[in-house]
Amino acid sequence: DTPIIFLTANHTVQALIDAFDAGAVDFLTKPFSSTELIARVKNHLSLVQSKKDLAKAKEIAEQANKAKGEFLANMSHEIRTPMNGIITVIDFIKDTGLTEKQNDLLDIIKTSSDNLLEIINDILDFSKIEAGQVELDLFNFNLKNELSSVLKPLELKAKEKGLKLELVYNKQIPDVLHGDAFKIKQVLINLVNNA
């Protein structure tokens, strides 16, 4: 932590290279000005202090980030428990004698609950997201079915605003695709909500 400033009468390039190789951070050649020497010492001591302050600030930021991650993990766990209860109750209600309209509404609630649960699960993996280690959940899925199910709650939202939301499906796209259906649905939800 102590900056070394070489004071030398030897003006050769090799002497300077040797000084820096030995750990010097700066050098002055003789004859020298005491004012310049004091200014350089103050400058290097200030740099050392700045490095220490930066290291401390980095450590504090890392601790805060870790605390944030732990908080999000705990909160998302607390939210996931009641969400699982909601999804279970939806399944029980669907087994009772309901009208077609009630079944459709429950399907919308179930789809929204499943999507919310997936988001909560992603929050549980927040540390992976921050580390850039998000893994795709790849499997075969029917794109039209997935898009239709995710748009149902959004259709109701659009209708409330006097808008029409319609899925126009390009027939050139195969019915079954291989990929992460949930991530595709997330993108679609964000696009439609923003629109």
As a three-state string, the secondary structure of 86-140 is HHHHHHHHHCCCCCHHHHHHHHHHHHHHHHHHHHHHHHHCHHHHHCCCCCCCCEE
Alpha-carbon distance values, 145 to 149, 151, 176, 177 (Å): 6, 10, 10, 11
pLDDT at position 137: 82
Q: Give the span between the Cα atoms of 2 and 48, in whole angstroms.
A: 8
pLDDT at position 55: 93
Contact by Cβ (8 Å): 120, 79: yes
Would you give per-residue pLDDT tens digits along the chain (195 residues)?
788 888 888 878 888 888 888 888 888 888 888 899 899 889 989 998 999 999 999 999 988 887 877 777 677 667 777 887 888 888 889 888 899 899 888 888 888 888 888 777 777 666 566 656 667 788 999 988 888 888 877 887 788 888 888 888 888 989 899 998 888 887 888 788 788
The single-letter DSSP state of residue 173 is S
Q: How many CA atoms lie within 13 A of 156 on its CB side?
A: 10
pLDDT at position 131: 58
pLDDT at position 152: 79
pLDDT at position 50: 92
Dihedral (CA of 165, 170, 173, 176) sign: positive
Longest dimension (CA), the chain: 100
